[in-house]
Structure 1
Amino acid sequence: MTKEQLIAMQRQNAEVYDGDSMELRRKSREFLERLQMPIGLLPMDNMEELGFNESTGFIWMRQKKPTYYKFRQIGQLVRFDTEITAFLEDRRMRAITGVKGREFLVWIPVNEIQMENIPDPKNITFCTPVGI
């Protein structure tokens, strides 16, 4: 199943927001807070569309162009593609697409993000399908 087909299937029962960037930012923060994830975890500056299917936990975000962000505390450069998808759970994002971390001059896909120590997360774990 392609990413477009997955989004189309999840869209049927989803809350979909597009247009006003301030509304998109507010909604994305609301979703992340509800699931106890850090607000700065996803890029919010170039968003065009945000969708969330609460019954399945599926979220997607479309942005105008890819975004690069460096997490300074861990020195990790991350690339957020124009389309990001994931399934959200309490303190966890799984089956992530559209996110890559740079490690040893190679871009490696990130497929899961987990957190511990709520409400003040001290450890955020980025998992990859290749185990790096």
Structure 2
Amino acid sequence: MATQLIATHRVNAEIYHGEDLCKQKSLELLDEICLPNGLLPLDQITEVGYNRSTGFVWLKTGKKKEHRFEAIRRTVSYESEVTAFVEKHRMRMVTGVKSKELFFWITISDIFIDENDSAKICFGNPSGISRSFPVSAFQLQDEEQEKKDGDQ
């Protein structure tokens, strides 16, 4: 389904290829929409696309990835294709992202900064239930950010 959605938004999209460039563009995108730069800790990104007229974004990776956000003690699973419609402080209609709650994987469909408390980021699922966490839990660590800046 994600592949079909990507195909419909390719026309007029900015499309980037190559692991280093795609990683850079994914970080720039998060910065542009004012979301924490560690929110999409993906490796081996092979394609990033952004259709500014529709707000549709996609990231393709070589494989599925699980990442543990230690600050909140949560494991998040990223499929090989992650898509979303983006706007300032928000990613909506997200596909390809799940969070592990106890023994269950919960689909994440909405990610946004709480308008009443900009230090909180909220994650919603399709049933309308959401959870909030500190934005700082999704920021890249200083040394990791310095390494990325030094590589440029």
For normalisation by structure 2, the TM-score amounts to 0.79
CA RMSD of aligned residues (A): 1.6
List per-residue Cα deviations over 1:37-90 (Å, max 9, x = no partner).
Answer: 111111232211110001111000010111111111211110000000000110
Question: Unaligned 5+ residue runs, structure 1?
Answer: none
Question: How many aligned positions are there?
Answer: 128
Q: Secondary structure at the match of 2:4?
A: helix
Amino acid at match of 1:34: E
How far off is 1:8 after superposition? 0.8
Amino acid at match of 1:105: F
Q: Please, which of 121, 124, 128 is the counterpart of residue 127 of structure 1?
A: 124
Percent identity between the aligned chains? 40
Who is 1:110 aligned against?
A: 108
How far off is 1:129 after superposition? 1.4
Conserved 8 A contact 2:42-2:65: no
Q: Please, which of 95, 98, 102 is the counterpart of residue 100 of structure 1?
A: 98
Moved over 4 A (4+): none
Q: Secondary structure at the match of 1:48?
A: strand
| Cα distance in 2 for residues equivalent to 1:23 and 1:48 | 9
Question: Unaligned 5+ residue runs, structure 2?
Answer: 131-152
Q: Secondary structure at the match of 1:45?
A: coil
Who is 1:52 aligned against?
A: 50
Q: Secondary structure at the match of 2:38?
A: helix
Amino acid at match of 1:123: K
Once the two structures are overlaid, the 10-residue window that deviates more, 27-36 or 89-98, is 27-36
Amino acid at match of 1:28: S
Q: Secondary structure at the match of 2:76?
A: strand
Who is 2:2 aligned against?
A: 3
How far off is 1:122 after superposition? 2.1
Q: Secondary structure at the match of 2:99?
A: strand
Amino acid at match of 2:30: L
